[in-house]
Amino acid sequence: MTDTRLLRPDDRAVLRAELRALRQSGVPVAFAGEVAANRLRLVEFVGTRTTGLHNLEVHAGTGLGGRVFVQGRPAGVTDYGAARTITHDYDRPVLAEGLSSILAVPVQAGGRCRAVLYGALRQPLAFGDRMWDQFIAAGRRLAHEFAVRDEVDCRLAMAQSLAAVRHLEPAQAATLEELRSVHSELRAIAGSIADPGLQRRVYAAAQRLADLGDGEPTPEPAVRLSTRETDVLSQVALGCTNAEVADRLALSRETVKAYLQSAMRKLDARTRHEAVVRARKAMLLP
């Protein structure tokens, strides 16, 4: 059964949040479409008066959005109905909404267009630099968010695969070192995620790997490490130096040293290696 706490957050929610922020900054109409199967479907709207654009499918190369989707760069028109740089497959719903000037910005992540952001005016006016800058910045934020979510999904898939094969014969199973590598990568990714829900999801997946263990745990005193102490120790377990841990977790070397020393005290360990061994016995690391 799938653990619903580990499901990818709805990408439409982050699109919706960006549109609301754009509307609050003074953009009268904003909407967005998701790309799937070489088609762009309009799914989120703020400031519209009709439902004609809702769930509209825009084919690659057609209209303004389809052109942006294919070319991968922003574009705009100041009089949609008379524009000669686009096809007019969608004039009816666009003009029924009363839109005249429209800009479109692609959201590029993973080497492909994932979504398109639109801004619109009901008058044939040129867009100012401020409006362009706002939409381009929103597109970049979304691209970064999608890239992070994709990396999380990739790592979770690897973790699930490793969890499954751990119960197979040794010749078929992935190596324990690979499992540990994925665990440390998940924790490093989690520490850089701003979304609390997504961060909890990644940490939960990392803990699932730690829970697999390397056989049955031996009796150990109850030990509780902080999130960052575990993050640091998971990197140390791979053989990273303090400088390398600092780079991977975006921390200062002094901060890494402090977390490591704190973890060693809690684990009653005299060396880095001993701290890792004790953490593994306590099922804090895989």
Average pLDDT in the chain: 85
- Pair 71, 176 in one domain: no
Q: Counting beta carbons within 10 angstroms of the beta carbon of residue 247, is it exposed (0 to 12), middle (13 to 18) or buried (19 or more)?
A: middle
- SS3 label, residue 273: helix
Mean pLDDT (whole number) for 270-276: 85
| pLDDT value at 102 more than 90 | yes
What is the spatial distance between Cα 277 and Cα 286, in angstroms, rounded to a whole number? 10
Model confidence at 3, in pLDDT bands (50, 70, 90)?
very low
Under the banding of pLDDT at 50, 70 and 90, the label for residue 195 is confident
pLDDT at 88 > cutoff 50: yes
Residue 204 · residue 160 · CB < 8 Å: no
Q: In this structure, are 18 and 101 located in the same domain?
A: yes
**Final residue of a domain: which of 148, 178, 200?**
148
> Is residue 188's pLDDT more than 80?
yes
Return the DSSP state at 160.
H
- The arithmetic mean of pLDDT across residues 26-36, rounded, is 94
Q: What is the pTM of this model?
A: 0.62
Concatenate the DSSP letters of all residues of 43-81 into one string: EEEES-S-STTTT-EEETTSHHHHHHHHH-S-EEESSGG
Confidence (pLDDT) at 157 = 63
Can you tell me which residue has the tokens 């692609």?
106
CA distances from 160 to 33, 42, 149, 176, 242 (A): 31, 33, 16, 14, 29
Element at 93 (helix H, strand E):
helix 91-96
Instruction: Identify whether residues 17 and 124 lie together within a single domain.
Output: yes
pLDDT tens for each residue of 210-238: 776 554 544 444 688 999 999 999 888 88
% of the chain at pLDDT higher than 70: 85
Residue corresponding to tokens 């790309």: 35
Confidence of residue 7 (pLDDT cuts 50, 70, 90): low
pLDDT over threshold 80, residue 61: yes
Distance CA 213, CA 50 (A): 56
How many other CB atoms are there within 10 angstroms of residue 130's CB atom?
11
- Cβ-contact 245, 236 below 8 angstroms: yes
Judged by average pLDDT, the poorest of 94-108, 193-207, 236-250 is 193-207
Instruction: Verify that 43 and 137 share a domain, yes or no.
Output: yes
Is it the case that residue 5 has pLDDT exceeding 50? no
Residue 269 lies in a domain: yes
For 109-122, what is the mean pLDDT? 94
Banded pLDDT at 93 (limits 50, 70, 90): very high
Residue 165 in this model has a pLDDT that exceeds 70: no
Asked if residue 160 is part of any domain, the answer here is: no
Q: Among 25-34, 94-103, 188-197, 268-277, which stretch is predicted with the lowest mean pLDDT?
A: 188-197
Report if residue 153 sits inside a domain: no
CB 191, CB 206: distance < 8 Å = no
Q: Please compute the mean of the pLDDT values over residues 68-75 and round it to a whole number.
A: 95
Position 97 in a domain: yes
- Pair (134, 230) in one structural domain: no
What's the rounded mean pLDDT across residues 249-262? 92
pLDDT of residue 268: 87
* 155 domain residue, yes or no: no
**196-212 helix and 176-191 helix, angle to the nearest 10 degrees:** 160
Q: Domain range holding 273?
A: 166-281
CATH value at residue 192: 1.10.10.10
Task: Return the SS3 of 42.
Answer: strand
